């Protein structure tokens, strides 16, 4: 009896904290339909809702862009979502060994070191469907959360390329669900993956001030097989909290998970 009372009291005390975690957030997916998203014209049902999650098989038949695009545009925000890579049937022979500064390691002959690994690839474009602001989700040893377009741009300052390179690999195995908390304030990005900060206060020079979110298509399918790392991916629990212009992280949302100061 005594233990039951303690357990009940603990539940009561924990409930407000659990509920407050999502205060101010708006759901972008209700588990039933894609009414808040623009399905690529000619997709033919490859982006779909399956068992309460957004499911994609990397085989969209759209002749144009194949990404799933949010109907609304956003400025500064905190985005939370769950995602998982269903499987990784493609063997990628060109996975680089990425160094902490964002560059690729080379062998004694000066050639990039490349690994052959099972690979699956998707991501989330932030504000810029044609640009570089993609938070990656994939199987590379560097880990998910990196911003490939900025890391690979040799014209970017070294601190920018290093900043968008994950501090650690925090992915769960293929087939398991992962949790993202993505905070974008101005051109500063922080990414928390499964409770671990992998990108902190990284700068994305030139990112648009407003724009949609995109769930990425990647890979091709021909003659019964994938021709590149496919986005065999699922999403759930997608919710967003806009941040008022001029807000600082101290005023904002997840103070423990976003940078202490935005410069």
Give CA–CA dist 35/19, Å, rounded: 25
Mean residue pLDDT of the chain comes to 89
Residues in the chain with pLDDT values less than 50: 1-19, 249-263
Domain membership of residue 254 (yes or no) is no
Residue 249 covered by a domain? no
Burial of 75 (0-12, 13-18, 19+ CB in 10 A): middle
CATH code at position 42: 2.60.120.560
Q: State which residues form the domain around 52.
A: 28-242
C-alpha torsion angle, residues 100, 194, 177, 135 (rounded to 10): -50
pLDDT at 250: 39
- Looking at residue 247, its pLDDT comes to 58
Residue 67 lies in a domain: yes
Residue at 247 is within a domain: no
Residue 134 lies in a domain: yes
Q: For residue 131, what pLDDT is reported?
A: 83
113 is a domain residue: yes
In this prediction the pTM is 0.86
Assess if residue 261 is contained within a domain: no
- Is residue 82 domain-resident? yes
| Tokens linked to 77 | 């925000």
Give the total number of structural domains in the chain.
1
Take residue 139 and report the two structure tokens written for it.
Answer: 């199987």
Helix (H, G, I), strand (E, B) or coil at 136: strand
């Amino acid at each position: 009896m005594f233990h039951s009372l303690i357990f009940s009291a603990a539940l009561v005390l924990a409930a407000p904290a659990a509920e407050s975690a999502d205060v101010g957030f708006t759901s972008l997916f209700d588990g039933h339909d894609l009414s808040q998203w623009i399905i690529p014209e000619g997709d033919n049902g490859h982006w779909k809702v399956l068992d309460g999650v957004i499911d994609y098989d990397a085989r969209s038949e759209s002749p144009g862009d194949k990404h799933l695009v949010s109907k609304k545009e956003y400025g500064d925000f905190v985005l939370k979502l769950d995602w998982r890579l269903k499987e990784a049937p493609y063997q990628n022979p060109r996975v680089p060994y990425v160094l902490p500064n964002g560059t690729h390691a080379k062998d004694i002959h000066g050639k990039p070191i490349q690994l052959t690994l099972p690979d699956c690839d998707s991501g989330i474009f932030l504000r810029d469907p044609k640009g570089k602001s993609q938070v990656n989700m994939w199987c590379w040893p560097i880990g998910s959360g990196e911003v490939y377009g900025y890391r690979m741009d040799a014209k970017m300052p070294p601190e920018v390329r290093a900043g968008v390179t994950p501090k650690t690999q925090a992915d769960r195995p293929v087939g398991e669900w992962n949790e993202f908390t993505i905070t974008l304030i101005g051109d500063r990005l922080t990414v928390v993956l499964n409770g671990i900060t992998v990108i902190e206060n990284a700068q994305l020079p030139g990112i648009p001030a407003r724009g949609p979110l995109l769930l990425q298509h990647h890979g091709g399918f021909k003659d019964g097989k994938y021709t590149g790392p496919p986005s065999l991916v699922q999403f759930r629990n997608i919710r967003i909290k806009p941040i008022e212009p001029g807000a600082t992280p101290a005023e904002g949302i997840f103070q423990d998970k976003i940078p202490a100061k935005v410069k």
